[in-house]
Structure formats: structure tokens, C-alpha cells
């Protein structure tokens, strides 16, 4: 399989476990009553051609939701939805549903994705009458760290939104903060990578395409009782209301049936490989090795400050040289790396430099091989 010949450092859609690719391919050919094991009976139909209202898909959906609780530690008191529209739709759905007129929607600005979430709240505030406050930001220093939160929130805060891992800038909250308001978290790029306090979130969400599955399915969860006590927002179309989806057991309209099955398979893989705590050990080992190589180098420099460094997206620059030379050097490095079988190392276009995304499924030996390649590249400059 192509995936075994190259190490895939893509930020997302990203590497998934090879076993998951095999089982997903098998389910596309013919769904078995137990897609996770080889013992189920073939149903004579592909996963892609069955109704989302039938018993076969209902079983997949129920299993996926149960695994979100069991494997990711999302409390049973939370509603779990597997929606479409990506994490970006949640940037808008959150203020549409939970920003309250005359109250303050609070945001922590730690990078491009936080900024997009803030922008949606600001846009909606014009017609909906809430306020948006950025209560902490690391923008001034190029988003190179996680800023400290203020001791006190604005009066009448309706929620605090944080991005637990910043995919583009390579910073990460060590643990989710304790705040005096409902905590909302965009956990798209570090969900399931280690325990970091997700159970304390009143609402969380994650596009699946990094640690959970393919693009096109977004995990959303929120505290059911808390949501029931919130005022029903006026003028919000049904499809954009969480309550609409929850009232139909998460199947208000046709979900991404393929995405839901792959998410189920990925969570089974996490569970069968020791769960999130085992992922934490594996991910810490990979990140430590890569940051150690960067810190020991005089050519490569890690962008994120120690204490804020992401275990999922490691971002660095090359250089010392003037900007134009640095860019040429970076290009040379990325091209040489790709030729040697290391794909997806080019940094995000807004940041430049390099980025290695080393999600759960990324093998530790790929990091060892990259570190060796980097040392050799530096030696020959």
C-alpha cells in the first residue's frame, strides 16, 4: 500500500492507521455486520449504498457515539453529534446557538483558527446583539505561545472559547483552563492524543480529519442539561440548531455515513492500542525526539516556545540566512525530504517554514527517520 512507502506528515486530512484503511476498504466492498472484526457476516451491500435509516447504519452510528464516550472520555451527560460542515461550521453555530444578546462571548486568540471563530462571532453580533471579547491573545508575538488567561472574565460572560491545539502555529494548551463560565473547545487537532481535561468542557468539537477519521464528519458534544437551560435563539434555521439534530438522535438529515464508520474504526483502534493514555506516551515520545533534534540543531529552529509546544504539529524554520535565502533553503529541504519519502513537511502558507504533523497514527520510527534525515541535511549544507 502506498502509505507504507512514505511517511505522511500532512496536517489534515492526515494519516490514519493502516488497519483502518483495510477495514474501511472492506466495508466499501461489502459491509459486514461487525465492521471491526473479520467474523461478522457480509450483508451483500456496500457501506456506501445503505440507508442511514436502516438497522445496519444505526448500529454503526450507535457504536461510534458509544466509543466517543468510552475512548475519548466525553461524559455520558453530553449529547454527541456527528455533523457535516467541518469545524468551521461550528465557528458559526456556536454564537448562533449560545451567544446571548447583551452578554459577552469570550474568546482566546491563539492562531488562525481561533481568529476565524472570533470573526464569526463578531459578524453575528451585528444582528444578534451580543458582544465578542478577546480575553487573551498571543497574536503580537506571532502566536508562538499560549497566553495566560485573565484572572477575571468580563461580567455577563456567556462562554469562553479556546482552541486546544493550534494546527498552524504548533502550540497547545497543556491542560484546558478553569474558567468561571462554560468552556467551549475546538479540539480538532489534538482530540484523543492525550488526556488534557476535555471532560471539563461544556461544549467541544473536532473536525475528524486529523485524529478521528476522514474529512466531512465533525464530532460535536455538549452538556445536555446545560443546553436545555439556554434560551432558544430567535431566527436560527433548524439545520443550524443543535437541538434539531439532538431531537432526531443525531440523524436529522443524511450524515456522512462513510465518515461515521471510519471514525468508529479509528476509535476502536485507539481503544485496542491502549486508549488515550497510551497515545499520550507514544505522542510525547515522538514530540520529545523531534523537539530535541530541533533544539540541538543550528540550522533548524522550533517556532513555539517551550511550555506551549504542540505534540501534534511541530513547526520550525530554517536558518539564520536573510529571508530570500531562507526561503530557498526551506524549499530545498522540503524537496529533498519529499524525494527521501517524507511527505507533507511544507509549513502552512501563512507561516512558511516547515511543519511535521505527528498525529496518533503517525509511527514513531517515522520521527526517528526524519531526525536522522535532518541531521544529515544539516551536515551537508
Ligand X SMILES: Cc1ncc(COP(=O)(O)O)c(C=O)c1O
Residues near ligand X (CB under 6 A): 12, 86-88, 113, 163, 167, 186, 188-189, 207
Q: Which is nearer to ligand X, 83 or 318 (CB)?
A: 83
- Rounded to a whole number of angstroms, the CA Rg of the chain reads 21
| Residue 132 marked as a ligand binder | no
Q: Which is nearer to ligand X, 14 or 24 (CB)?
A: 14
Closest CB 231 distance from ligand X, rounded Å: 27
| Residue 369, C-alpha cell as written in the block | 527517520
Residue whose CB is nearest to ligand X in the complex, by number:
86
Three-class DSSP category at 127: helix
How far apart are CB 233 and ligand X at their closest, in Å? 22
- 223 is annotated as contributing to ligand binding: no
In the bound state with ligand X, the residue whose beta carbon lies nearer, of 10 and 158, is: 10
| Maximal C-alpha separation, the chain | 64
From the CB of 88, what's the least distance to ligand X, in Å?
3
Q: Which is nearer to ligand X, 82 or 374 (CB)?
A: 82
Is residue 254 marked as binding? yes
301 is in an annotated binding site: no
> Is residue 22 within 8 Å of residue 3, measured between CB atoms?
no
Nearest CB to ligand X, comparing residues 110 and 318: 110
Query: Smaller CB distance to ligand X: residue 66 or 115?
Result: 115
253 annotated to a ligand binding site: yes
Q: In the bound complex, what is the minimum distance in angstroms from residue 169's beta carbon to ligand X?
A: 10
- d(CA 11, CA 243) in angstroms, rounded, equals 32
Q: Is 90 annotated as contributing to ligand binding?
A: no
Min dist CB 198 to ligand X, Å, is 14
H-assigned helices in the chain: 2-5, 18-29, 55-72, 86-98, 112-128, 224-228, 242-247, 257-272, 275-296, 323-339, 364-379
SS3 state of residue 26:
helix
CA distances from 82 to 86, 141, 263, 278 (A): 10, 36, 10, 25
Element (H, E) at 315: strand 313-318
Instruction: Give CA–CA dist 138/307, Å, rounded.
Output: 14
Distance CA 108, CA 148 (A): 9
Cis preceding linkage at 289, omega within 30: no
- Shortest separation between residue 170's beta carbon and ligand X, angstroms: 11
Q: Which is nearer to ligand X, 207 or 353 (CB)?
A: 207
Contact 236, 96 (CB under 8 A): yes
Determine if residue 375 is labeled as part of a ligand binding site.
no
What whole-number distance in Å separates Cα of residue 345 and Cα of residue 183?
A: 33
Catalytic residues: 113, 186, 210
Per DSSP, the residues of 137-198 read: E-GGGTS-SPPPPPSSPPTTEEEEEEESEETTTTEE-SSPPP-SS-EEEE-TTTTTSS-SSG
Q: Is 280 annotated as a binding residue?
A: no
Binding-site annotation, residues for pyridoxal 5'-phosphate: 87-88, 113, 167, 186, 209, 253-254
Binding-site annotation, residues for L-glutamate: 53
Amino acid at each position: 500500500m502506498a502509505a507504507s512507502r512514505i511517511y505522511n506528515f500532512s496536517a489534515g486530512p492526515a494519516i490514519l492507521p493502516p488497519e483502518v484503511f483495510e477495514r474501511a476498504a472492506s466495508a466499501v466492498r461489502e459491509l459486514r455486520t461487525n465492521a471491526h472484526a473479520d467474523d461478522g457476516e457480509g450483508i451483500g451491500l456496500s457501506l456506501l449504498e445503505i440507508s442511514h435509516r436502516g438497522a445496519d447504519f444505526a448500529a454503526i452510528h450507535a457504536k461510534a457515539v458509544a466509543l466517543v464516550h468510552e475512548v475519548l472520555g466525553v461524559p455520558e451527560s453530553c449529547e454527541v453529534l456527528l455533523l457535516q460542515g467541518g469545524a468551521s461550521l461550528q465557528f458559526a453555530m456556536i454564537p448562533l446557538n449560545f451567544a446571548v444578546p447583551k452578554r459577552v462571548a469570550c474568546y482566546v486568540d491563539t492562531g488562525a483558527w481561533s481568529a476565524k471563530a472570533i470573526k464569526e462571532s463578531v459578524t453575528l453580533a451585528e444582528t444578534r446583539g451580543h458582544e465578542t471579547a478577546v480575553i487573551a491573545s498571543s497574536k503580537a508575538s506571532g502566536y508562538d505561545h499560549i497566553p495566560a488567561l485573565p484572572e477575571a472574565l468580563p461580567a455577563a460572560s456567556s462562554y469562553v472559547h479556546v482552541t486546544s491545539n493550534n494546527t498552524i502555529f504548533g502550540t497547545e494548551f497543556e491542560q484546558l483552563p478553569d474558567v468561571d463560565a462554560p468552556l467551549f473547545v475546538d479540539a480538532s487537532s489534538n482530540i484523543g492524543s492525550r488526556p488534557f481535561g476535555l471532560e471539563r468542557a461544556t461544549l467541544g468539537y473536532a473536525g475528524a480529519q486529523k485524529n478521528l477519521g476522514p474529512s466531512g464528519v465533525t464530532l460535536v458534544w455538549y452538556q445536555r442539561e446545560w443546553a436545555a437551560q439556554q434560551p432558544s435563539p430567535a431566527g436560527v434555521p433548524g439545520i443550524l440548531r443543535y437541538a434539531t439534530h439532538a431531537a432526531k438522535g443525531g440523524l436529522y438529515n443524511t450524515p456522512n455515513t462513510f465518515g461515521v464508520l471510519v471514525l468508529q474504526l479509528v476509535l476502536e483502534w485507539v481503544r485496542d492500542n491502549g486508549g488515550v493514555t497510551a497515545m499520550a506516551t507514544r505522542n510525547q515520545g515522538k514530540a520529545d525526539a523531534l523537539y530535541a533534534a530541533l533544539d540541538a540543531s543550528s540550522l533548524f529552529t522550533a517556532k513555539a516556545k517551550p511550555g506551549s509546544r504542540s505534540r501534534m504539529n511541530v513547526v520550525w524554520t530554517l536558518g539564520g540566512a536573510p529571508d530570500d535565502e531562507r526561503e530557498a533553503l526551506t524549499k530545498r529541504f522540503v524537496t529533498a525530504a519529499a524525494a527521501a519519502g517524507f511527505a507533507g513537511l511544507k509549513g502552512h502558507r501563512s507561516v512558511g517554514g516547515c511543519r511535521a504533523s505527528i498525529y496518533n497514527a503517525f509511527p514513531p520510527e517515522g520521527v526517528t527517520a526524519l531526525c536522522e534525515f535532518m541531521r544529515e541535511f544539516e551536515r551537508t549544507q
